[in-house]
């Protein structure tokens, strides 16, 4: 495989672990891209290490990463409140490298992570001997991008965060293009190009799929200003108003009922995901973003507990819980 040869050359020459960082706002498709990359690694007989960061207290998608070499950093953002945890995790992977158990490292930040600060940690002098940053992949939800850019429908914090995620990219995936019109896509591309370097490619994607050779190219180039011991990026954290709400002990629910409830939530709810049991039978992983609800059946549900995570900007948790109890609670009594 092309990617396998490229990676072997890099490992052979540098003896460092290639790192791919995946960023993008809530619901842009980061986990889908991560899973696509894992499939390619498996095809090429490569052993990935994964750092997965979630704002919530649990990762409701753990079942998607069974038998993977994964470290989960929960209940915080690795670009700020749990950055020390990120460094501790990188140290753990250095230990693994001495045992020759991983060939490549993937880092997926939360939907509100600032990639520049994760990059700064990777480029610290204590890590440059072990890790080689290959690409900073930024996903953009085409169905929401223009709305998030508007001062009338988004907060200054969200707009600032999106700019950081886009401007730091070495490759941009304008995702979910099947949900928007071509005229809108052209407008988006123009706005994106204003925020990225001229050599950064933009790919229009559905489900984050682009050719293997394009996704795994080594696109990132370190310059002297990138070294964190010479240049410190004093970033302010622009997502203090974005938080997560966890709801447990969900009753069995009808698909249509859940969809109607999620769509009817306040616009401050930007993302929903979790595990539910349907009244029709079986446990499903659900993803809600851009007003769209997707389900995927969970094969092994023996250890599954239904739970829901809602993420948004300035969530009124009491109001949402009251709404939830009014709609669903009587079903579990």
Kindly report, residue by residue over 40-99, the tens digit of the pLDDT: 999 999 999 999 988 777 788 888 888 899 998 887 666 666 678 888 899 999 988 888
pTM of the model: 0.84
Kindly report, residue by residue over 98-117, the tens digit of the pLDDT: 888 899 999 998 888 888 88
Residue given tokens 């990639």 in the structure block? 115
Average pLDDT, the chain: 85
| 288 or 239: which leads in pLDDT | 288
**Residue 31 is inside which H or E element, if any?**
helix 30-43
Instruction: Please give the domain boundaries of the chain with CATH numbers for all domains.
Output: 2-215 (3.40.50.300), 242-332 (3.30.1220.10)
**What angle in degrees, to the nearest 10, is found between the helix axes of 156-167 and 115-122?**
40
Tell how strand 69-73 and strand 171-175 pair up.
unpaired
What are the phi and psi torsion angles at 14 (to 5°)?
A: -95, -25
Residue 25 neighbours by CB under 8 Å, 6+ apart = 111, 112, 139, 140, 141, 144, 148, 158, 161, 162, 165
Q: How far is CA 146 from the centre of its chain?
A: 20
Residues in the chain: 333
Distance separating alpha carbons of residues 276 and 112, to the nearest angstrom? 25
What are the phi and psi torsion angles at 281 (to 5°)?
A: 115, 140
Residue 134 pLDDT level (bands cut at 50, 70, 90): very high
DSSP state of 65: G
Provide mean pLDDT across the span 255-272: 92
The two three-digit tokens of residue 214, written as one number? 């394009």
Distance separating alpha carbons of residues 112 and 239, to the nearest angstrom? 6
What's the pLDDT score for residue 224? 46
């Amino acid at each position: 495989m092309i990617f396998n040869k490229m990676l072997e050359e890099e490992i052979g020459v540098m003896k460092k672990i290639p790192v791919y960082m995946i960023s993008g706002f809530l619901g842009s498709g980061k986990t889908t891209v991560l899973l696509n990359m894992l499939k390619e690694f498996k095809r090429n007989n490569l052993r990935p290490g994964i750092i997965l960061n979630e704002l919530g207290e649990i990762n409701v998608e753990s079942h998607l990463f069974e038998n993977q070499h994964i470290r989960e950093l929960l209940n915080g953002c690795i670009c700020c409140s749990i950055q020390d945890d990120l460094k501790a995790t990188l140290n753990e992977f250095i230990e693994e490298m001495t045992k020759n158990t991983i060939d490549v490292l993937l880092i997926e930040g939360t939907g509100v992570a600032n990639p520049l600060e994760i990059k700064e940690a990777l480029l610290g002098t204590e890590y440059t001997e072990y890790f080689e940053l290959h690409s900073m992949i930024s996903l953009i939800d085409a169905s929401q991008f223009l709305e998030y850019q508007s001062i009338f429908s988004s907060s200054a914090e969200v707009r600032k965060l999106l700019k950081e995620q886009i401007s730091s990219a070495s490759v941009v995936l304008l995702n979910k293009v099947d949900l928007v019109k071509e005229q809108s896509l052209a407008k988006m591309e123009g706005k994106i190009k204003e925020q990225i370097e001229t050599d950064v490619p933009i790919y229009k994607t559905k489900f984050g799929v682009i050719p293997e050779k394009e996704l795994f190219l080594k696109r990132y180039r370190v310059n002297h200003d990138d070294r964190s011991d010479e240049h410190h990026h004093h970033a302010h954290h622009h997502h203090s108003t974005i938080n997560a709400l966890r709801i447990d002990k969900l009753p069995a629910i009808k698909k249509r009922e859940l969809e109607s409830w999620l769509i009817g939530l306040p616009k401050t709810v930007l993302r929903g995901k979790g595990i539910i049991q349907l009244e029709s039978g079986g446990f499903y992983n659900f993803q809600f973003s851009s007003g769209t609800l997707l389900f995927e059946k969970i094969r092994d549900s023996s250890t599954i507990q239904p739970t829901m995570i809602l993420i948004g900007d300035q969530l009124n948790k009491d109001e949402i819980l009251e709404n939830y109890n009014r709609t669903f609670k009587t079903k579990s009594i």
